[in-house]
Amino acid sequence: MSNDYNFAYLDEQTKRMIRRGLLKSIAIPGYQVPFASREMPMPYGWGTGGVQVTSACLVPEDKIKVIDQGADDTTNAVSIRQFFEKTAKVETTTHTEKASLIQTRHRIPEHDLDENQILVYQVPIPEPLRFLEPRESETRKMHALTEYGLMHVKLYEDIAHHGHIATSYAYPVKVEGRYVMDPSPIPKFDNPKMSMCPALQLFGAGREQRLYAIPPYCEVISLDFEDHPFTRLKANAECELCSANNSYLDEVIIDDEGNRMFVCSDTHYCEARQADGHRGKRNRLDQEGYDATHI
């Protein structure tokens, strides 16, 4: 099946259509642009939107990285990476700073991004108002007229029922003071990274057929109340492998007794720190030469 695919799988007309949509979405930060999403050789919900955006953006010189919940080595990440290796013959990497295009599901890498990079998000439900307003005609009108009170109703409900804003992922943001946007299900810990980010951030929702974007250096503000301000949320711990205390942590159950440990969700970040000699408590406790990746 070596050369039977067009470059990056999609035909040129389709890629052109998607690029036009992307240009429009970049011109109107946060605005959801409809596009004719194609059938992809993977099920909806596995990143078909992100894959189409990546496909439309790829050039042969690109070096791509794919992460799923921060990890380079999970099924979804591996198969999408292989998909582009096969269909576009581009180089792949796990190094955040070496990648020119990063496709992500549910995380923003810990390492700062730069102006030469594109971050492509996989989006399940692009409409932040959908939870409370099921009518598409009405939500479009609300966006058009900047009627965003309803978004705060959702946050109000959170506080009323939980005492604080319990939304911890897909936390709604306002882009450049205009459109309210769903940042895809990234943890709200990552929300501040979207603001004034030097990299281009593109969002693709395959099933819902929507594209949207945050151009570089855009202001992205997480919605909140004056008396319940937005807070980043992170486990109150440090990584037990690399001792990082400022990265987003996963809690991993490690045995049948229910013991658990906290590790960086961003695997490349964690490995890079360990390579630099940082050691977490589990690394220190174990004997010399312990291989963290086997836990």
Binding site for other proteins (CB under 8 A): 132, 141, 145, 147, 149-150, 152-153, 156-157, 159-161, 224-228
Q: Determine whether 264 is an active site residue.
A: yes
Nearest distance from C-beta of residue 280 to other proteins, angstroms: 38
Residue 36 vs 166, nearer CB to other proteins: 166
Nearest distance from C-beta of residue 190 to other proteins, angstroms: 23
Which residue out of 21, 30, 47, 204 is catalytically annotated?
Answer: 30
Return the structure tokens found at 11.
């035909």
Nearest distance from C-beta of residue 247 to other proteins, angstroms: 30
Residue 158 vs 250, nearer CB to other proteins: 158
Q: Determine whether 163 is an active site residue.
A: no
Residue 217 vs 225, nearer CB to other proteins: 225
Which residue out of 197, 204, 270, 280 is catalytically annotated?
Answer: 270
Residue 57 vs 129, nearer CB to other proteins: 129
Nearest distance from C-beta of residue 178 to other proteins, angstroms: 14
Q: Determine whether 30 is an active site residue.
A: yes
List active site positions. Answer: 30, 239, 242, 264, 270
